[in-house]
A and B are shown apart, each in its own frame.
Chain A
Amino acid sequence: MRNIWTIARREYNHYFISPIAYVVAFIILVTLGIYFTYIIGITTQQAMFGGGPAPEVTPINWLFVFLLVFTTPAVTMRSLSEEARTGTLELLLTAPIRDFELVIGKWLGGFLFILTILAATLIYPLVLNSLVTPGIDQQLMISSYLGVILVAASFLALGVGISAIFTNQIAAFFATFGLFFTMWFMMGLFANLVQGSGAEVFQYLNMSTHFTDNLNAGSIKVSDLVYFISLIALGLFVGTTAVETRRWR
């Protein structure tokens, strides 16, 4: 556990000296900020003409996750591939730590970085809460944030796993992005193309079902939690196996 924390802390600190991490944080926070301003504007207008639905944090969190599809590959692309390329992996693999501790540490570092960005967006529900009487739907907000956290954790685990396979970070980026794009946008299309149980499988694999339709709509179901936890486990398993495989080459 301590080894995981040592690796995670270095990884987390590293993001704060990495230009890519700042670009990612900038893109996410600026986009969300503009969108939030727009939502406030619309709501204010609707309020003047007799009122509309009360504003919620869910569209902002949806946009956050949408941006994660494009940005997390950039966050994770170098995590293990860069260590392999520069040779620093050799010192980590000859230090007294287990391969899975290294992979989990890398994942945790990236996860904490995304959580830091997410923490900065907590200002939005606070502002909304003060604007609306009697306040926004607390349960919906918790479910929505849980969804964002689970999506981020899954993306980072898969990204770190893929990064462990590659030595070139650009290759890692595109492989990761391709996977996320497929999971987020393509699975729904596949589900519409086929019939019967095949459609159900694609529908289950479709990440937007689990996030957009369930968690971000206020419903916390065991099947959704199992889906995300499976993805995290899969990513970390792939990463650990890829690191072990490097030893045999």
Chain B
Amino acid sequence: MIKVNGLTKDYGARRAIDNLTFDAEQGEIVGFLGPNGAGKTTTMRILTGYMPPTDGSAMVAGYDVVEESLEVRKRVGYLPETVPLYDDMTAIDYLKFMANLRRIPDPEERAFETLEGVNLAERAESYIGTFSKGMRQRVGLAQALIHRPEVLILDEPTIGLDPAQVVEMRNVIREIGKDRTVLLSTHILSEAQQICDRVLIINKGKIVTEDTPENLQSRLVGSQRVVLRVRGDSDGLSARIAKVKGVHIVEAKPDGSVEFEFGAGEDARPQVAKAVVSAGYELLELRPVGLSLEEIFLELTRDNATEMSS
């Protein structure tokens, strides 16, 4: 559905995205994850036919975004990050306007149906200018869905929503993603983890890595890290743990606890526990500390962070 090959975009001397290559299948929800300014919006603007790339190509729903821009735009629904709407129009009039631009046969009926779909039917006659952020977001989503597009591109769809609205928006996206292709951008990792089938981590215009959220976690962690704590004096504890077969890194923390790692698939915890107890320590805690997506993300985009702090 979406095929991107070597996509590059320069703004003057600055390279916003650099040789991006990825694709997305029908019925797949792909998450674009990255810090602000990573190139997510630029990529989306190219895919929606808003601007041409400097180099490379992109096919959306079987059409080239540059050569057959109008065909692409007919098949794509787009929700920009800023949710630009006409404040002086009512929700229903606005959607009718968008339906007319999309050449939908019965714009009035479709506009109302779509508003119902985003739970805004009772506010159809209200001016968009009076809407809350969450309601605006829903009108924006309705506008993106009004022509039942094959591909839906959502730029930060949950930004600025309250927690209940975020859950609701995620459910709507999951529902849509069952039979259509959804590309969404976010900088919230748990969100990508919850709704995306696949995550592309993008930083400084380049794809850092690409995988399912689960694989990403296990692949990047590779080994398991465990923290161990005993009551009282912990002298010689780390030396004792290091002797256990399969244990790689032992790190004594200032608070007296010890962290160690072992390869995935060879659980060394029982051996460590036995060794610690037989050495006379009183074992209080033996807890795995899985590397969260947050940490993976920071790990992958660390170059950027150091650059910013320096």
Contact = CB atoms under 8 A, between A and B. Distances in A.
A47 B3 CA distance: 82
Interface stretch (A2-10, A61-69, A172-180, A204-212): A2-10
B100 A248 contact: no
B86 A94 contact: no
Contacts of A247: 50-52
A97 interface: yes
A223 interface: no
B97 interface: yes
A91 B97 contact: no
A45 interface: no
A27 to B, nearest CB: 22
Interface stretch (B69-77, B115-123, B161-169, B291-299): B69-77
Contact of A95 (B45, B51, B101): B101
Nearest to B49: A94
B100 A14 contact: no
Range for the number of chain B residues in contact with chain A: 20 to 34
Contacts of B102: 95-96
A90 B84 contact: yes
Interface in A147-202: none
Contact of B76 (A3, A92, A94): A94
Interface in A1-49: 2-3, 6-7, 10, 14, 17-18
A173 B70 CA distance: 32
Contacts of B85: 88
B52 A14 contact: no
A56 B51 CA distance: 54
B103 interface: yes
A96 B101 contact: yes
B127 to A, nearest CB: 10
A6 to B, nearest CB: 4
Contact of B73 (A7, A88, A94): A94
A249 B143 CA distance: 25
Nearest to A92: B101
A82 to B, nearest CB: 10
Nearest to A85: B84
Interface string A68-111: 00000000000000000011111111111110000000000000
Contact of B101 (A6, A14, A86, A89): A6
Nearest to B101: A95
Contacts of A10: 89, 97
A17 B103 contact: no
Interface in A223-249: 247-249
Q: Most chain-B CB neighbours within 10 Å: which of A17, A87, A95, A248?
A: A95
B36 interface: no
B23 to A, nearest CB: 21
Nearest to B77: A94
B84 A97 contact: no
Contacts of A98: 70
Contacts of A87: 80, 82, 84
A164 to B, nearest CB: 16
A111 B88 CA distance: 21
Given A6-B100, A94-B78, A95-B98, A86 B51 contact: no
A247 B88 CA distance: 26
Contacts of A86: 84
A18 B88 CA distance: 9
A248 B51 contact: yes
A3 B74 CA distance: 13
A97 B52 contact: no
A90 B73 contact: no
A39 to B, nearest CB: 39
Contacts of B49: 93-94
A2 B97 CA distance: 12
Contacts of B89: 10
Given A88-B85, A88-B86, A95-B101, 10 more contacts: A2-B103, A87-B82, A89-B84, A90-B50, A91-B80, A93-B50, A94-B49, A95-B73, A96-B73, A247-B51
9 contacts: A2-B100, A3-B101, A10-B89, A14-B88, A17-B88, A87-B80, A87-B84, A97-B101, A248-B51
